[in-house]
Structure 1
Amino acid sequence: MLKNAPKFYEVAKRIVEITEDCILVAHNSSFDYRILKTEFKRLGFPFKRKTLCTVELSQQLIPDMESYSLGKLTRALGIPMSDRHRANGDAMATVKLFKMLLNKDLDKVIVKDAIKIEKKSNIATNLKDIIEQLPSDTGVYYIHNVNGEIIYIGKSNNIRKRIIQHFTGTNSKSKKIQRLVSTVTYEKTGSELAALLKESAEIKANKPIFNRALRRTVFTHALYSSTDKNGYVTLFIDKSNREENPITTFSNRASAKHFMFKAAEDYNLCQKLTDLYDTKISCFKYEVKECLGACINEEPIESYNERVHVLIEKFSYANKDMLVIDKGRTIEEKSVFLIENGIFKGMGFFDLNHQINNRAILKSLITPMENNRDTQHIIQSYMRRNKRLKIVDLK
């Protein structure tokens, strides 16, 4: 469709002419306006217009709609729409929607108030220059002072966006960073897991002044197992400062409980034996015929314990040799995380044509990293949240 379309610079003059002294109306106008401003900026032209957003107007004038996306909103309001997701079709639908909104705004107060005049940026010039050099990629970033010392380390799925938040923040830490920052360096990781692990390791190694209060304890609670007097394997949540090794760890008690309720349902486990239902007799699920009776010794011990061990095997990598494969920094690349005998060895990147099941090749790709409770928590938590990760068992 764009093969024979004109380049932006060829139509820029015409856009300036047709929008002169006009208000731009768009569905999610901040997005369209930002694109226009960016393109004009590349041409060295300052493009400024007032804007009206039909998303915001619709939310005010037509509250309680199920969705405010253009397609669903026009369909709900009976506005005919053709060529969905094409410039002409979307523009015509927005015109019809805007006319309806103008009719609903009897006092014209909301429309007047909704016209946005671009605010002057409150970001200092030196901070803008730093932002201009940053990518919108996943990775770890390092904020340096004038002496080159690292004063803060963070990770983000969008480095540029996160730094803008630092530079526009009004809390005490943000203001101190804004005053002291001289430059920002970064390292792309592609994978959020790689960024989390690298951030944790770099904070421990560099101890930046503004990271000292950051996650002194990354996780507070953990999942443990034991065997009761009848031989059933029980599961329970407790604080993570116990001496024995946990199955997996959690950032707080609430997330641990949420996991346990779901796990009990997914693996058909007894609520009494998973510490979710305090009783000396049968659990609630037994009463509604959803528990097979382990709570009152009715279910065979072997069959119940087998399901518990499947859960433990899935969420613990103790004694396992495996690779975790995730996104890389480019389309042709993947990130890889090596775990040997339940110990995290390190991470690296490989091209898709690499034979990573060859141990010698694999070890040459891996950068060694420290194995500690924080890295275990980060990896286990990430694996729980990302069901589509590729896990390769090493023979």
Structure 2
Amino acid sequence: MLKNAPKFYEVAKRIVEITEDCILVAHNSSFDYRILKTEFKRLGFPYKRKTLCTVELSKQLIPDMESYSLGKLARALGIPMSDRHRANGDAMATVKLFKMLLSKDLDKTIIKDNIQVEKKSTIAPNLKDIIDELPSETGVYYIHNADGDIIYIGKSNNIRKRIIQHFTGTNSKSKKIQRLVSTVTYEKTGSELAALLKESAEIKKNKPIFNRALRRTIFTHALYSYKDENGYINLKIDKADGNAIPIITFSTRLSGNNFLFKVVEDYNLCQKLTGLYSTKSSCFKYEVKECHGACIQEEDVEAYNKRVQSLIDKYSYDNKDMLLIDKGRDIEEKCVFLIENGIFKGFGFFDLNHQITNRAILSSVITPMTNDRDTQHIIQSYMRRNKRLKVINLT
């Protein structure tokens, strides 16, 4: 569709003419306006217009809708749409939606209040120059002072956006960073897990002055298992103990309990034996016939423990040899994380054409990293949250 389309510079003059003294109306106008500003900036032209967003207007004039996406909003309001996700079709649907919103705003006060006038940037020119050089991609970034020392390390799924937040923040730390920053360097990782692991390792190695809060252990609670006097495997959330080996760790007790509530449902476990229901008799789920009776020794010990063990096997990588495969820095690449005998060895990047389970290839692409409790917590938390992460068990 774009093969024979005109280049932006060929239509730029016409865009200026048709938007002169006008208000740009769009569904999610900040996105469209940002695209226009970026293209005009490349041509060296300062493009500024007032904007009006039909998403924001719809939320105020048509509250309690299930969704405010253009397609779902049009269907709910009976607005006919053709050529969905094409310029003309979406534009005509937005026109019809805007006319409907105009009719609902009798005094036109809401419309007027929502007209956005671009504010003059509060970012200093030297900080703008830094931002212009940054990618909107996942990775780790390093903020340096004039001497080249690293004063802050962070990770983000959008490095550029995160640095803008640092440079526009008004809290004490942001203001200090704005005053001291000289340059920002970065390393693209593609994978968020790689960025999290790299960030943790780099903070420990460099100890930047503005990362003090992150130097503390990042998990406080853990899931442990033990057998009771009847032979049933019990689970409990407790404070992380440096001596005991946890199944999985959590940043707070609340997140641990939320995890337990979920796995009790998924694995049909007993609330009493997971510490979620304190009682000397049967648990609540037994009363509503959703527990097989492990709480009162009615369920076969072996059958119950088998389900608990499958949960432990899934969420603990203790003594396991496996690979985790995540997205890479571009479409032709993947990021691989190696765990051998329950120990995280490091991560690296490989071409989609490689047979990555080959140990010789693995050793050549993996960059060694330190295995510690923080690393284990980061990996396990990421595995819980990302169902699309590919796991390959090595034999």
CA distance in 2, matches of 1:214, 1:85: 43
Which runs of structure 2 are paired with 1:234-253 in the superposition (5 Å)?
234-253=234-253
Residue 242 of structure 1 and its aligned partner are, at CA, apart by 4.9
Instruction: Please say if 1:177 is aligned against 2:173.
Output: no
CA distance in 2, matches of 1:369, 1:239: 27
SS of aligned partner of 2:214: coil
Residue in structure 2 matched with residue 10 of structure 1 by the alignment: 10
Residue in structure 1 matched with residue 125 of structure 2 by the alignment: 125
Residue in structure 2 matched with residue 26 of structure 1 by the alignment: 26
Instruction: Please say if 1:199 is aligned against 2:218.
Output: no
Residue in structure 1 matched with residue 75 of structure 2 by the alignment: 75
SS of aligned partner of 1:214: helix
Instruction: Please say if 1:392 is aligned against 2:395.
Output: no
Q: How many residues align?
A: 395
Residue 113 of structure 1 and its aligned partner are, at CA, apart by 1.9
Instruction: Please say if 1:353 is aligned against 2:353.
Output: yes
- Range with bigger deviation, 121-130 or 63-72: 63-72
Which runs of structure 2 are paired with 1:41-52 in the superposition (5 Å)?
41-52=41-52
- Range with bigger deviation, 187-196 or 353-362: 353-362
Map Cα deviations across residues 132-168 of structure 1 (whole Å, 9 max, x no partner): 0000111000000000000000000110010000000
Residue 361 of structure 1 and its aligned partner are, at CA, apart by 2.0
Residue 210 of structure 1 and its aligned partner are, at CA, apart by 0.2
Residue in structure 2 matched with residue 339 of structure 1 by the alignment: 339
SS of aligned partner of 2:274: coil
SS of aligned partner of 2:59: helix
Residue 74 of structure 1 and its aligned partner are, at CA, apart by 2.0
Residue in structure 1 matched with residue 137 of structure 2 by the alignment: 137
Which runs of structure 2 are paired with 1:248-287 in the superposition (5 Å)?
248-287=248-287
TM-score after normalising by structure 2: 0.98
Identity of aligned residues (%): 83
Residue 215 of structure 1 and its aligned partner are, at CA, apart by 5.4
- One-letter code of the match for 1:341? N
Runs of 5+ consecutive residues of structure 1 not aligned to the other structure:
none
Structure 1 stretches of 4+ with a deviation exceeding 4 A read none
Which runs of structure 2 are paired with 1:260-339 in the superposition (5 Å)?
260-339=260-339
Residue in structure 2 matched with residue 371 of structure 1 by the alignment: 371
| Alignment check: 8 A CA contact 2:203 2:215 kept | no
SS of aligned partner of 1:339: strand
- For the structure 1 residues 279 and 242, does the alpha-carbon distance in structure 2 shift closer, same or farther, using more than 3 Å as the test? farther
- One-letter code of the match for 2:43? L
Residue in structure 2 matched with residue 104 of structure 1 by the alignment: 104
- One-letter code of the match for 2:256? A
CA distance in 2, matches of 1:27, 1:359: 51
TM-score after normalising by structure 1: 0.98
- One-letter code of the match for 2:49? R
- For the structure 1 residues 66 and 287, does the alpha-carbon distance in structure 2 shift closer, same or farther, using more than 3 Å as the test? same
Which runs of structure 2 are paired with 1:154-169 in the superposition (5 Å)?
154-169=154-169
CA distance in 2, matches of 1:89, 1:391: 42
CA distance in 2, matches of 1:356, 1:111: 57
